[in-house]
Structure 1
Amino acid sequence: MSTPGTTEAGGATGTGGGGRAEPDPRVLAVWSPDWPVTAAARAAHVPADRPAAVLHANRVLACSATARRHGVRRGLRRREAQARCPELVVLAPDPGRDARLFEPVAAAVEALAPGVEVVRPGLLVLPARGPVGWFGGERAAVERLIDQVALHAGTECQIGVADGMFAAALAARRGRGVPPGRSAEFLAPLEVAELDRDPDVDRAALVDLLRRLGLRSLGAFASLSESDVASRFGTDAVAAHRLARGLDPRPPARRVPPEELSAAVELDPPVDRVDAAAFAARALATRLHTALAGHGLACTRLGVHARTESGEELLRVWRCAEPLTPSGTVDRVRWQLDSWLGRGGSGTLVALRLTPEDTVVAGALQRGLWGDVGEGDERAGRALVRVQALLGPEAVLTAVPTGGRDPGERVRLVPWGDERVVEDTAVPARPGPVAPARDGATGAPGHAEQVTPEPPGRRPPADPPATWPGRLPAPSPATVPPDPVPVRLLAADGAEVCPAAPDLLDGVPRRVAGGGPDREVTGWAGPWPVHARWWAPDGPGPAVRLQVVLADGTALLLVHRGGRWEVAGVYD
């Protein structure tokens, strides 16, 4: 274990004379390297010197230092990882286990410094002012905390100190301190891939786009203006841009949650099982988010309080990059309860309370087009949250891109406020070969790979998105009717034009009939066959796509399925 080269920031600990002290931006981050594989190996009693890796969907999510010395890297497929390191121990991912085993680390730090916040298992942060002032400087505080974690948690850690949580976390990975006011300078030479470290926020597509544009460092990205970033890359990129500039991504003024927003329950009889406590936590999470919605608020830091039968008070604070959803709250509470009840010694729980330690106006982190949230956006966000409070979460939905071949399959609706993760879930797996398909406008034959379906959520960082052979190429139709509109495709002599072969029509399209007067066809492209889930009894069956341009400039996407043509989309 190594002591980072921290800086002595005397001003960080000064309290000043008469006036009110300004908020201290200095943050201390404690990072346990390779925590998912460390926790998994510890739970499976794998010796520390054995190469080990945690795999999900046959991809390496995390690997030990020993495995890296054998050439194993994140994102490798299982076969390649085992080819590089035949003695590799393969372990399964388990977020609950990771959180439970990280609790001793958090408890060890908390014994010396208050205000510990678990960002995720393996990383926690706390204000630097307290420990730095108590131990007489940043270097002394870091050395004392490293020894504390090693002694009481039995694991190594690295600590970083910087202005802001993002810079502090990256400094911890490098075991160093960043002088006050120089976080932007520290971040500038780092790779833009550092923006995609947080598993709760998927920025893989943004990082890939920045690289292709030649913006390979955080400094290059930070040099762009915020308005240019918002207009060219989207709203999520604005938050990433602020991180690259060394700024706090959250709004500077946070509302103090009213006392009545806390949700508490007395557990009678006392609870000593995680499943029973988690059941109570689910009801509490619903109450908490209903109360927050009634005030137009969203929670970004959650306090989990518990009292044992012996009178011991337990507290842990969880921080989130985005406002917590009810399901996200339940997950974090369950992980924390698993830590307390699974470690032994905490006894049975007699009371549980959830407290929103930090809140923002609902929708405040969903920045506007130019990077800021206007008053109208805030009012709209509060109104939508209030509608959900009255009618339920499903009453207000928002569209999120997802994977699929047809335009209607490539958008899913999620409740407003839920995590808007872009999913590109692979097609359902079937043993054996899959029927060939054509790749969109190119007409080139493609073959679908046999794939394994993944659970919803983001993929491993290095896992490429599903290819969806035969999917419609960009641009997608601007309008997709909820129900296909039947039409007839006619030749010049009035005969109906139909597919004569997978990639051949039996006539030349000249008119589209249906839903009003016949419309003249001035151009067309295709046809392209689509073979989607042809083996499934409930599958859509074979289909043929055709794009046509009408005399009035309208472009249509037509699909021939079940013996008839349908309008599947309208282009702008």
Structure 2
Amino acid sequence: MTRLLVLWCPDWPVVAAGAAAGLAVDAPAAVVAANRVVAVNAFARGEGVRRDMRRREAQQRCPDLAVLPADADRDARVFEPVAAAVEELAVGVEVVRAGVVAVPAKGPSGYFGSEAAAAERLIDQVAARTGAESQVGIADGLFAATLAAYRGLVVPPGGSAEFLAPLGVHELPDRAELVDLLRRLGLRTLGAFAALEPADVASRFGADAGYAHRLARGLEQRPPSRRRPPVDLSVSHVPDPPIDRVDAAAFAARTLGERLHDHLATHGLACTRLAIHAATGTGEELLRLWRCADPLTPSGIADRVRWQLDGWLRGPHRPTSGITLLRLEPEEVVDGHALQLGLWQGGHDEGAERAGRAMVHVQGLLGPEAVVTPTVGGGRSPADRVTLTPWGEERPEPEAPEPPWPGRLPTPSPATVPAIPVQVSVTDRNGQEVGVTGRFALTANPDEVRTPDGTTHRVIAWAGPWPADERWWDPKTAHRRARLQVLLAERSEEDGQGALLLVRENEKWSVEGIYD
């Protein structure tokens, strides 16, 4: 297995956004998408701001918080000088994503005397050339090396499996459903998952879980029998006039990305490592490798080409003339069946493309927030568990759906969650308001629920309350609430029976959900 050195720049989306906005490096800042925090720097974390926190809550905890927009193009463009700085000392640089690069460890460690010395030298190089902070991890395989970089560790050769064993299964990338299932089965560490037989994992959980199982065992995601594609799989483009603007680069990226994907698809292949070559009118040669854990879709190829061209054309070391030749070479491929497109991912699905265009059209008429996609994650209330992201934006990584979530409601979830909770009154048989004590016990059995329009509904059964004592350690942001499920009597044959999810907070009841 290839021994890799991975350099990671912490909180890179915030670093890139702050640099583009001219923000002071010691200012608390967060990158926000769809009113959710997707990245936060150390100064904001010190004030209690965390990922996936709502924007309003983050600003309440840190009034001086600089809120910056998410922009993948910007992140990649600003990261190009970091990749170039690493390339000055090490060959074979591959950009994993904006903020992370990988290089074979053999060359730098041999030149600088040891792996630890190479790591220290690269960190100093990046800091001197770009001012960016970074950490380096070295291990066998990209997955282990990346996790080692998060911790600034050098894992001994052959020790990746031992290093990974005590880490949580949530470290598996982009596999929320599998992580959820493993936790429910009691497999909470990568070591426990790795201890399963590979054949049992593949037969019980499927091929993708088999790839994840290889990662947990300290192996590459796929066996090392990958084919190197022949030269004729590369695609080229000679722009006329030469590319010297970002908008022209974006058009060329999309066209060339679709050509490469179609070319690979005719051979039953998909790309996992992409080489982007460019030549300028003055004879300059530019090259950058991009590595991806999963096979690249047409849009994934186009994004990486656009990001790279944007970094070259607008970076500090921009070429002296326009780009006259652009060539894409798939450095590593896998069988095409590894590329499983989702419902809305497009590709060759004409219906999905029409649906995507229709959604963009609706956004153009009604605004970005008019079309959203949900992400289900962890939380105590139904509203907390669902994050709505405008169509076209990258959905944030959800909170872990499994415990610890004390006070979380049991299934089933309400069918309808009002955007604004509706206040109601809950009374007992004597007409007195039902409250909740400091020990989260009801003061009386609920008998009626009265809505703001004066309509009363008799309660025939109830369950709860489920207490939620949140942020009890911080008096400024602590709040207590209790939830109650009530089954209402049938009012008419048309209405039928109904059930409500009620929440008691600040000595008031409100409807948080409606069951069908």
The residue matched to 1:271 in structure 2 has which SS?
coil
Residue 269 (structure 1) aligned with residue 241 (structure 2): yes
| Structure 2: distance between partners of 1:229 and 1:449 | 29
Is the 2:30–2:68 contact (alpha carbons within 8 Å) kept by the matching residues of 1?
Answer: yes
Counterpart residue number, 1:51: 28
Distance 1:348 1:395, change over 3 A: closer
Give per-residue Cα distances to partners, 1:123-164, cap 9 Å, x unaligned.
Answer: 111111111122222122112211111111221110010000
Residue 180 (structure 1) aligned with residue 142 (structure 2): no
Is the 1:40–1:54 contact (alpha carbons within 8 Å) kept by the matching residues of 2?
Answer: yes
Counterpart residue number, 2:390: 454
The residue matched to 2:395 in structure 1 has which SS?
coil
Counterpart residue number, 1:350: 324
The residue matched to 2:181 in structure 1 has which SS?
helix
Give per-residue Cα distances to partners, 1:367-423, cap 9 Å, x unaligned.
Answer: xxxxxxxxxxxxxx9xxxxxxxxxx822899xxxxxxxxxxxxxxxxxxxxxxxxxx
Is the 2:28–2:65 contact (alpha carbons within 8 Å) kept by the matching residues of 1?
Answer: yes
Counterpart residue number, 1:470: 415
Deviation at 1:463, TM superposition (A): 5.0
Match of 2:71 among 94, 97, 101: 94
Deviation at 1:263, TM superposition (A): 0.7
Is the 1:425–1:456 contact (alpha carbons within 8 Å) kept by the matching residues of 2?
Answer: no
| Structure 2: distance between partners of 1:277 and 1:118 | 19
Deviation at 1:185, TM superposition (A): 0.4
Give per-residue Cα distances to partners, 1:154-186, cap 9 Å, x unaligned.
Answer: 211100100000000010111110000110100
Counterpart residue number, 1:205: 177
Aligned runs of 1:481-496 on 2, under 5 Å? none
Counterpart residue number, 2:142: 165
Deviation at 1:205, TM superposition (A): 2.5
Deviation at 1:206, TM superposition (A): 2.2
Residue 393 (structure 1) aligned with residue 365 (structure 2): no
Is the 2:2–2:141 contact (alpha carbons within 8 Å) kept by the matching residues of 1?
Answer: yes
Counterpart residue number, 2:114: 137
Counterpart residue number, 2:50: 73
Aligned runs of 1:63-462 on 2, under 5 Å? 63-196=40-173, 202-344=174-316, 345-346=318-319, 347-364=321-338, 393-394=348-349, 425-426=373-374, 452-456=388-392, 459-462=395-398
| Structure 2: distance between partners of 1:502 and 1:349 | 68
Counterpart residue number, 1:501: 494
| Structure 1: distance between partners of 2:52 and 2:385 | 18
Give per-residue Cα distances to partners, 1:10-54, cap 9 Å, x unaligned.
Answer: xxxxxxxxxxxxxx5211000000101111111111111111111
What is the TM-score of this pair, normalised by structure 1? 0.63
Distance 1:47 1:447, change over 3 A: closer
Distance 1:185 1:278, change over 3 A: same
Q: What is the letter of the counterpart of residue 92 of structure 1?
A: P
What is the TM-score of this pair, normalised by structure 2? 0.69
| Structure 2: distance between partners of 1:357 and 1:31 | 23
Distance 1:220 1:450, change over 3 A: closer
| Structure 1: distance between partners of 2:108 and 2:190 | 30
| Structure 2: distance between partners of 1:51 and 1:447 | 28
Is the 1:263–1:355 contact (alpha carbons within 8 Å) kept by the matching residues of 2?
Answer: yes
Distance 1:115 1:468, change over 3 A: farther
| Structure 2: distance between partners of 1:224 and 1:93 | 39
Figure out how many residues of one structure are paired with residues of the other and give that number.
386
The residue matched to 2:38 in structure 1 has which SS?
strand
Give per-residue Cα distances to partners, 1:516-545, cap 9 Å, x unaligned.
Answer: xxxxxxxxxxx999xxxxxxxxxxxxxx99
Deviation at 1:210, TM superposition (A): 2.2
| Structure 1: distance between partners of 2:324 and 2:396 | 39
Is the 1:210–1:216 contact (alpha carbons within 8 Å) kept by the matching residues of 2?
Answer: yes
Give per-residue Cα distances to partners, 1:321-373, cap 9 Å, x unaligned.
Answer: 1111111100110011110011153131111111111111212577xxxxxxx
Q: What is the letter of the counterpart of residue 349 of structure 2?
A: E
Distance 1:224 1:425, change over 3 A: same
Q: What is the letter of the counterpart of residue 264 of structure 1?
A: S
User: For structure 1, which runs of at least 5 residues remain unmatched after alignment?
Assistant: 1-23, 197-201, 367-380, 382-391, 398-423, 428-445, 472-498, 505-526, 530-543, 546-572
Residue 60 (structure 1) aligned with residue 16 (structure 2): no
| Structure 2: distance between partners of 1:453 and 1:238 | 30
The residue matched to 1:91 in structure 2 has which SS?
strand
The residue matched to 2:44 in structure 1 has which SS?
helix
Is the 1:448–1:468 contact (alpha carbons within 8 Å) kept by the matching residues of 2?
Answer: no
Is the 2:180–2:400 contact (alpha carbons within 8 Å) kept by the matching residues of 1?
Answer: no
| Structure 2: distance between partners of 1:48 and 1:457 | 27
Once superposed, what is the RMSD of the aligned Cα atoms? 3.0
Displaced runs of 4+ in structure 1, greater than 4 A? 446-453
Aligned runs of 1:486-565 on 2, under 5 Å? 500-503=493-496
Is the 1:74–1:462 contact (alpha carbons within 8 Å) kept by the matching residues of 2?
Answer: no
Counterpart residue number, 2:419: none
Is the 2:276–2:305 contact (alpha carbons within 8 Å) kept by the matching residues of 1?
Answer: yes
Counterpart residue number, 1:479: none
